Amino acid sequence: MGRILRDIFSFADRPLSERIAFVIFLIIVLAFPWMVKPAYAKVVMIKFLLFAMFGLGWNLIGGYGGQVDLGQAKNVGFGAYATALMMLHWNIPFWLTILPGMMFATAESFAVAYPMFRLRGHYFAIATLCVALVWKELFVFWDWTGGARGVEIPIKATPDFTYMQFGETGYHYFIFGLFMAQFLFMNWFRKSRLGYELMAVRDNEDAAESLGINVTATKVKAYCIAAALGAMGGSFITAYYLYIDPDLVMPMDLSILIAMTVMVGGSGSIWGPIIGAAILIPLDMYLGAWLAGGGRYGIDFMIYSFIIMIIAAREPKGIWGIVERVRKRR
Amino acid sequence: MRRMMGIVFISLALVFTFTCTAWAKEIKIGVILPLSGSLAPTGKSLKEGADLAADIINGKYPDLNISIAQWEGIPSLGGAKIKLVYADHRADPGWGADQAKRLIKDEKVSGLFGCYNSAVTKTASVEAERAGIPFVNPDSTSPALTKRGLTWFWRVTPHETWFTADLFNFLDGLSQGKARGVRAVPKDEIDTLAVAAENTEWGAASLKEIEEFAAKHGYKIVESFKYPHKAADLSSEARRMIASKADCYLFAPYVADAILFIRTLKEMRAAPKLIWGQDSGFIESDFSKTLGAAVNGILTRDLFSAELGKVKPAAAKINTMYKERTGYDFSGSSARDFIGIQVWAHALNSAGSTDPEAIRKALNELYIGPEQLIMPWKGVRFGSPFPGDTQQNELGSGVINQYQGWPDGKLHVVYPFEFSTADLIYPFPGWK
Amino acid sequence: MELAVQLIVFGTLMGLVFAFISLGLSLIFGVMNIVNFAHGEFLMVGMYVALLTSTYLPLDPLVSLPFAGAVGFLLGVLSYRFLIQYILRGPMVAQLFGTFGLMLFLRYLVMFIFGPDVRSLSHGLIVGKSVSLGYVTIDVSKIVGAVLCLMLFAVVYWMINKTRLGRALRATSLDPEAARYMGIDTEKMNALAWGIGGATVGIAGGLLAHFYYITPTIGMVFIMIAFATVALGGFGSISGAFLAGLIIGLIQVVGGQYLSELKFTFIYLTYFLAVVFRPRGLFGW
């Protein structure tokens, strides 16, 4: 028991500079609502924390597992819809709706994982894309999930802990709590037996197999856990926007954005998702707000995509790749 | 002594300038529209409509016969000018909500306006409701929006239920001989319908409405389906409609799929008696520009036509101004955004303040007469025209237009019958 | 019976168009194992070339096809030289987001320059003309497209399998290091693959412009179909792309007939089921 707690909270295996940087980061995030006046900055911060959290979950299969999953949005959708439908139709408090969403995502992932992991590389990536798109279309098609009309949650007076509706500050700490929960989970995971097995599989499947690791089972487990983590983020989205539809919570763009933020930050490290989200989310949100509506269409996306291309070209291993490169040179 | 006088003078001048600028201040209204992505052309025309209204309100145009043209800013607020602060929502409801928050809390707008896409209007209006800021919606037509019981949301445009009622009243009228220039058409000649709707929220809602009204009015739907509006190919869908041998083809598409559908039907030499589109794709200027003469005879639900200028002189003049700036006529969408800003101006003027409660009261008691509007509406007044509606404009109405004489032709009004600006072309002339 | 014939004809024609569009993607995959997210945008550029040449030059849009091909070639080579050759170093996902960035960049660059409006070709030898064969009415430009598709596939197939250049390309894809030892300039081969891939999809774009609408965001409509086609056929397989294109064209048409809302679902499910049983696609390696 003590060892598990230690694994969750300890960062002793990372250099001191990283630990200090992380503590500073935590302090900034915690104090953020009081430090900063503009509401938009707080909105950006919430979105950053959300995508950092999505990234952490995706990183489990995509980074530590080395399997490029381009369909994470379906899991987000499962969580979002589970929460939305349960809150709307049966008035179930938010916290009780998270688990069913996660369970559904895990179950569905388990069902598709075995056939999918027979595929490798690009075939696998496109298969994940296809599965997610199929689910999105099904959700548009089914009337009882609201179809294209989506699901709307009635507005409650804030703050409301059943429905988890708050003012901006409340949401900030809410998403921060979820983020920390996933972060600490990932910290434990990377030191766990499954974590090591997964990384072994990523680095060399044949060698891992020869060591007695069941390669497919390991991948499937990781995929299912990543699914559950993604669903949790989906539940948050429902409570935040009070309206969801398949285009909001399950589109291909979301899957790709999640994967991209991790890759920009550096997959396979626990900091990568946070760094990636810290760069891409504010970039997208500020460029979009400042430049759009100015009459010239598309400048904000041009700048955003240009920066992505430069990062891809200059440092394909992501920002964390740069940090590690610099470290190795010393 | 002289230096003292100088200082006093300068101080007085500064104070004077300061109070003047403080007095002639701006009233900011946040406008959230699709300004990028595939709906950008629509967003552009909506913005242009809103901008024109703001300019007319802020300036003086003595030869325009509507009250806002003489105001030069909001009279009851000391001539304060309306400033539109734009945000792009990228057709993403999450983005719309985030931009709404930014406009409300950081830009400190006095109210919100937008968003065209019904899904984005849903989330953005939630933010307005949470913040207690008025949200005026000029152009989203999903009926659900005014059935939520929100108290900070008003919708100016008539919604789908109206338009579908118009369609069936038109069809009934056609069979009763009320259409201008056409003798009564026996009902069994036009009573079978084929309906194709794109499968997002708007298309699905339209389809449902059509099905309900068809049953009520005694029309048979022999084929109906939803299709993905980003489809690469619509040949089987077009084939289905032709194979159903329906008399009338009804569509609820966005621009790109509208163009593709008509093109495909043309290739297949479809020959229905009547083609009708539920606004949106069918009224965008790109639709007629791209299809050219192929649009002749196509009917579309709409809200406006440049031809209305003949019966409403103010409409003609304002349309001319719009055309000078943009190169094309008002569409039903851009005209609605124009009226929406007009509604804002009238509400602010009645409220006499930018306090949200005052504006809310003003909007709830607002009445704008038909002579002020470029639309052939009976006016603007918010109420409950259909069961479940709240704060919905009761006095709006749609028209049905027909493309005639393209590529250099016009969009003529053929319904309401008393507003017709040309003879109806019936049956659909087909494509050579 | 009538229905079946019509569906088969439409499906085959669209299928050949899909195959045509996907050819370049398969080629690029085949030679250097990279997923080009920007493929739809290359198509879009081809369409704009057709639009521009027919608007500003007194040439029939059919004549614009070689231009579209040339521009596509240039675009492919430039993309390789300035972006792709750098991102090849990284893990697969880095390649994904690199080409994803390229996709956004091209799309919004075109939107910035030309505006978001939807346009189309208004005149041309094969624009808007259709021909009736029995009870099937077919658009002439689709027929031309189908013929061009067959021709181009034959040309590329011949080039890859029967020429020295083709052998060099295949060598580069199988084992770049060994190819270099054999004196093959692999950088040039890669750039060439991108060039040829770009050229074929550019021509496809020029053709598509005849019966499709033109707008900066049209890439999005075709990219998933292209991915599914290439993956189903097997990455790197030219004949696979051809067959898969036909299959997907037919599925799309049948889906549109019976359950149009889910027609993409059918395409994705087909891909999924097919690769579950044949993990490398129909003919892939």
pLDDT per position as a tens digit, C200-220: 999 999 988 888 888 888 888
What is the nearest CA distance from A158 to chain C, expressed in angstroms? 39
Q: Would you say B269 and B431 are in contact if contact means Cβ atoms under 8 Å apart?
A: yes
d(CA C162, CA C170): 11
Which two structure tokens, joined as six digits, stand for B89? 């929502």
- C222 vs C43: CA distance, rounded Å: 9
Mean pLDDT in residue range A115-121: 85
Work out the minimum CA distance from C26 to partner chain B, whole angstroms.
20
| C29 domain-assigned | yes
With beta carbons less than 8 A apart as the criterion, state whether B278 and B208 touch.
no
If one counts every other C-beta atom within 10 angstroms of the C-beta of residue A286, the result is: 15
Instruction: Check if the beta carbon of residue B50 is closer than 8 Å to that of residue B341.
Output: yes
Helix (H), strand (E) at residue C91: none
Q: Does residue C221 sit within a domain? A: no
Q: For residue B127, name the pLDDT band (cuts at 50, 70, 90).
A: very high
Instruction: Give C165 to chain A, closest Cα distance, Å.
Output: 26
State yes or no: pLDDT of B162 exceeds 70: yes
Greater model confidence, A227 or B4:
A227
Residues 200-219 of C with CB under 8 A from A: 216
Q: Which two tokens stand for residue B220?
A: 């048979």
pLDDT in tens, C217-239: 888 888 888 988 888 888 778 88
Q: Which residues of A246-265 are buried (b: 16+ CB within 10 A; e: fewer)?
A: bbbbbbbebbbbbbbbbbbb
- For residue B32, the chain A residue with the least C-alpha distance is A293
Average pLDDT over residues A203-220: 90
- Using the 8-state DSSP alphabet, how is residue A153 labeled? P
Q: Between β-strands B274-277 and B299-302, what pairing exists: parallel, antiparallel or unpaired?
A: parallel
Q: Do A133 and C268 touch (CB under 8 A)?
A: yes
Predicted-complex ipTM score: 0.86
Q: For residue B313, say if its preceding peptide bond is cis, omega within 30 degrees of 0.
A: no
Cα four-point dihedral sign B166, B168, B173, B179: positive
| Total residues belonging to chain B | 432
Please check whether residue B393 is in contact with residue B156, taking contact to mean a CB–CB distance below 8 angstroms. Answer: yes
Query: Which is nearest to A120 in space by CA: A57, A206, A197, A212?
Result: A206
Query: Structure tokens of B340?
Result: 């929406």
Residue C253 lies in a domain: no
> How many Cα atoms sit within 13 Å of C99 on the Cβ side?
25
Whole-angstrom distance, CA of residue A84 vs CA of residue A242: 8
- pLDDT, position A135: 93
Q: Is A149–B94 a contact, with Cβ atoms under 8 angstroms apart?
A: no
What is the spatial distance between Cα B17 and Cα B78, in angstroms, rounded to a whole number?
15
Q: Is A91's pLDDT higher than 80?
A: yes
Q: What is the 3-state secondary structure (H, E, C) of chain B?
A: CHHHHHHHHHHHHHHHHHHHHHHCCEEEEEEEECCCHHHHHHHHHHHHHHHHHHHHHHCCCCCCCCHHHHCCCEHHHCCEEEEEEEEECCCCHHHHHHHHHHHHHHCCCCEEEECCCHHHHHHHHHHHHHHCCCEEECCCCCHHHHHCCCCCEEECCCCHHHHHHHHHHHHHHHHCCCCCCCCCCCHHHCCEEEEEEECCHHHHHHHHHHHHHHHHHCCEEEEEEEECCCCCCCHHHHHHHHHCCCCEEEEECCHHHHHHHHHHHHHCCCCCCEEEECCHHHHCHHHHHHHHHHHCCCEEEECCCHHHHHCCHHHHHHHHHHHHHHCCCCCHHHHHHHHHHHHHHHHHHHHCCCCHHHHHHHHHCCCECHHHCCCCCCCECEECCCCCCCCEECCCCCEEEEEECCCCCEEEEEECHHHCCCCCCCCCCCCC
Average pLDDT over residues C7-21: 90
Say whether the peptide bond before residue A246 is cis (omega within 30 degrees of 0).
Answer: no
| Residue C139 is assigned to a structural domain of this protein | yes
Cα distance between residue B344 and residue B53, in whole Å: 10
- Strand B392-393 and strand B382-383: pairing? antiparallel
Q: What is the CA radius of gyration of chain C?
A: 19
Q: How confident is the model at residue A81 (pLDDT cuts 50, 70, 90)?
A: very high
DSSP state of C261: G
Chains that touch A (3 or more CB pairs under 8 A): B, C
Q: Give the model's pLDDT for residue C117.
A: 79
User: What percentage of chain B carries pLDDT values higher than 70?
Assistant: 94
Mean pLDDT of chain B: 87
- Asked whether residue C261 is domain-assigned, the answer is no
Sign of CA dihedral A212, A217, A223, A226: negative
Q: Which of A243-247, A290-294, B102-106, B252-256 is the least confident region?
A: A290-294
Q: How many domains does chain C have?
A: 1
- Residue B8: the pLDDT is 63
Q: What is the mean pLDDT of residues C8-17?
A: 90
> Which residue type sits at A5?
L
CB contact under 8 Å between B123 and A241, yes or no, is yes
Indicate whether B23 pLDDT > 50: no
Token reading at A296: 């010239």
User: Does residue C124 carry a pLDDT above 60?
Assistant: yes
What pLDDT does B17 receive? Answer: 46
Q: Region B127-152: what's the mean pLDDT?
A: 92
Structure confidence at residue A297 as a pLDDT band (50, 70, 90): low
Strand (E) or helix (H) holding C173: helix C164-174
**Interface A:C, Cβ pairs < 8 A:** 155
B71 — phi, psi (to 5°)? -80, -40
> Cβ distance C68 to C205 under 8 Å?
yes
Residue C132 has pLDDT above 50, yes or no: yes
Is the minimum CB–CB distance between B33 and chain C shorter than 8 Å? Answer: no
What is the overall mean pLDDT for chain C? 86
Q: How do beta strands B399-404 and B299-302 pair?
A: antiparallel
Please give the pLDDT value at position B6. Answer: 56
Chain B, nearest residue to C225 by Cα = B232
- Spell out the alpha helix ranges (H) of C33-91: 39-56, 64-79, 85-87
Residue A263: alpha-carbon gap to chain centroid: 12
- Write down the H helix ranges in chain A: 2-9, 16-35, 39-62, 72-90, 94-116, 121-141, 168-190, 193-203, 205-210, 215-241, 246-249, 252-265, 272-291, 299-314, 318-329
* Mean pLDDT, rounded, for C244-255: 91
Taking the domains of chain A in order of start, what are their residue ranges?
2-252
Q: Which of C19, C28, C8, C18 is nearest to C154 (CA)?
A: C19
Give the max Cα distance, chain C: 59
d(CA B399, CA B415): 5
Give partners of B (≥3 CB pairs < 8 A).
A, C
Length of chain C in terms of residues written: 285
Q: Are B32 and B50 in contact (CB under 8 A)?
A: no
Q: Which of C7, C108, C211 sits opposite B263 (nearest CB)?
A: C211
Most confident of A38-52, C111-125, C135-149: A38-52
Across residues C171-179, what is the average pLDDT?
Answer: 84
Does position B15 have pLDDT exceeding 70, yes or no? no
- At position B96, the amino acid (one-letter code) is G
**Residue range B327-351: average pLDDT?**
91
With a pLDDT cut of 90, the percent of chain B lying above it is: 46
B237-289: per-residue pLDDT in tens?
998 899 899 999 999 988 888 888 998 898 888 889 999 998 778 887 778 88
Question: In this structure, what token pair is assigned to residue A227?
Answer: 């699914």
Residue (of B402, B397, B398) closest to B422 by Cα position: B402
In a domain, C249, yes or no: no
Nearest C-alpha neighbor of C104 from the set A132, A85, A201, A306:
A306
Confidence of residue B19 (pLDDT cuts 50, 70, 90): very low
Q: Is the pLDDT of residue A74 over 80?
A: yes
Residue B315: name the closest of B259, B399, B237 by CA: B399
What distance in Å separates the CA atoms of residue C166 and residue C159, rounded to the nearest whole number? Answer: 5
How does residue B340 score in pLDDT terms, banded at 50, 70 and 90? very high
CA–centroid distance for C94 within its chain: 22
pLDDT range class, residue A296, cuts 50, 70, 90: low
* HSE-CB for C192 with a 13 A CA cutoff: 18
pLDDT at residue number B125: 94
B221: left (phi over 0), alpha (psi -120 to 50) or beta: beta
Q: What's the mean pLDDT in B220-248? A: 89
Chain B residue numbers touching C220 (CB-CB < 8 A): 38, 230
Confidence category of residue B20, pLDDT binned at 50, 70, 90: very low
Task: At A297, give phi and psi (nearest 5°).
Answer: -90, 125
Which range has the top average pLDDT, A20-24, B3-7, C41-45? C41-45
Which value, in Å, is the radius of gyration of the alpha carbons in chain B? 23
Confidence of residue C133 (pLDDT cuts 50, 70, 90): confident
pLDDT single digits (tens) B43-89: 888 999 999 999 999 998 888 888 888 898 899 988 899 999 999 99
Domain around C83: 21-216
**CA–CA dist A264, A54 (Å, integer):** 14
The SS3 of residue C140 is helix
**How large is the angle between the packed helices C219-233 and C39-56, nearest 10 degrees?**
130
C285 lies within 8 A of chain A by CB? no
Rounded Cα distance between C100 and A80, Å, is: 26
Confidence of residue C199 (pLDDT cuts 50, 70, 90): very high
Nearest to A312 among C98, C115, C231 (CB): C98
How far apart (Å, rounded) are the C-alpha atoms in residues C36 and C170? 19
Residue C180 confidence (pLDDT): 87
Give the number of C-alpha atoms closer than 13 A to the C-alpha of residue B133, restricted to the C-beta side.
22
Task: Collapse the DSSP code of C76 into the 3-class scheme (helix H, G, I; strand E, B; otherwise coil) and give the result.
Answer: helix
Q: Using a CB-CB distance cutoff of 8 angstroms, which residues of chain A are in contact with residue B92?
A: 247-248
Question: Mutating which of A149, A165, A287 best tests the B interface, going by the most B Cβ atoms within 10 A?
Answer: A149
3-state secondary structure (DSSP) of residue C138: strand
In chain A, pLDDT over 90 holds for what percent of residues? 41
pLDDT tens track for A306-324: 888 888 888 777 888 888 8
Among chain C residues, the shortest Cα distance to B233 is held by C14
